[in-house]
Each structure stands twice: as C-alpha cells, then as structure tokens.
Amino acid sequence: MKKAWSSTDLLATKYDEINWDGEWFDNFDNPEARGVWSVSGRSGNGKTAFLLQLAKELSKKGRVLYNSLEEGNSKTMQNAWKLHGLADCGRKIQLIKEDIKELTSRLEKRQSPDIIFIDSFQYTDLNFKDYLAFARGKFENKLFIINQQMDGNKIMGKTADRVNFDADLKIWVEGFKAFSKGRYFGKFWEDGYTIWEQGAIKYWGK
C-alpha cells in the first residue's frame, strides 16, 4: 500500500512548473511541466496557430517534439511554421510524423524531448487504457499537448473525450482566442489568450 500524504507533505511539495508571463500567465497560470494538456476547438478558429505559438513558447522551457500525424512535413505545415516563427527556435523544436510505436521508441532514448505535441489524438488509434499506460505511466514525467479533432461542437470519439476529461489543462479555441476550461486558471482567464488580434476582434466584436 502506498503512503498517504498528510497536509504538511502536500503543501511542502515543490513542482517543476512552466513559468511564463504576459497573456500565457494571465490565462493559464504556471502549470506543472508534466502531464497532459488537451486542446480542442472547431476548424477555422485558429487552433493550429495556437498550437504552434504554444510550441514556440514552451521551447523556452525545454526541447519540443511536434508529432504532426495529420500534416507531417507538408507545404501547409511549412507555411504555418514560417508564419509563426518556429525557425527562430532552431533545434529546440523538431517536427516528426510517427505512430505511437515509433514515438515510444524515440522517447525511450536518453535525453529525449520532455514536451511532446500530438496532432491529433484521433490519428493515434489509442484506446483509453493504452493512453493511460503511455502518458500517465511509461512517460509520466513528460508533458503531452494533445490536439483533438472535432465532430461539430463535440470532440470526435469517446476515448478522445475521456482523454480531454483526464487532462491537467483543458484549452478551448474559439474565434482566434484560447480559453482555459480547467484545471489551471490565470487571473484574467475569462479574457482568453489572443491568437490573432484582427480575427479575434472581428469574431468577438472587441
């Protein structure tokens, strides 16, 4: 049986955090630098742009691996990469297109990246048990940011919906803004992180 934590134990625990500032901190506080984040939102609202901006920001914390299961190294991804300035990060961000078996082999290597984007979950073919063994088990000390495909206003698939519920930080993208929907909230989280100002003003009217 595992040891239970007392209040003293819990409150004395130190965590490795993402310490950022500006709109990132205002909206998402300083989340723990491991676990699972889930990003959802309808197509055409700036989700890919947000993911790439997030990847660039997180590269200040550590090396980032972006597993683009949908687009890979396509022309559209190249254009987005240029637009959001990811080339400025050098080798701190790497782009791959690998299934879970290949990704597992990569992450098992010494000094593998600690921040992994999976774009998107529906392309992994993982069931919930395998997801837990992968992200919450074998690689529990890494941070996974998972993009979710949508079916209308709902996340596509029951397993993906359970992954979203399990996530430590849930982010909803709408009208070129990204909103925290749990479990980390910055002081001004209701305002949302602005992905593209002109598009956000057109959508929200302010």
Percent with pLDDT over 90 in the chain: 81
CA distance 52 to 83: 10
CA nearest 48: which of 167, 199, 185, 165?
199
Residue 30: pLDDT over 80: yes
Query: Domain 23-204 is in which class?
Result: alpha beta
Residue 55: pLDDT over 90: yes
The domain locations on the chain are 23-204
Contact 188, 50 (CB under 8 A): no
Residue 179: pLDDT over 70: yes
Question: What is the pTM for the complete model shown?
Answer: 0.93
Q: For residue range 66-99, list pLDDT tens digits in order.
A: 999 988 888 988 998 998 998 899 999 999 999 9
Contact 55, 117 (CB under 8 A): yes
3-class SS of residue 59: coil
Residue 177's pLDDT is what?
97
Beta strands of 41-183 (E only): which ranges? 64-68, 93-96, 115-119, 143-147, 150-151, 154-155, 169-174, 177-180
CA nearest 77: which of 105, 104, 96, 99?
96
Q: Choose the weakest-confidence range: 6-10, 24-28, 121-125, 174-178.
A: 6-10
Q: For residue range 114-147, list pLDDT tens digits in order.
A: 999 999 999 999 999 999 999 999 999 999 999 9
Mean pLDDT, to the nearest integer, of 49-66?
Answer: 96
CA distance 143 to 149: 20
- Which helix (H) or strand (E) element contains residue 194? strand 193-194
Percent with pLDDT over 70 in the chain: 98
Q: Which residues contact 13 (CB under 8 A, 6 or more apart)?
A: none
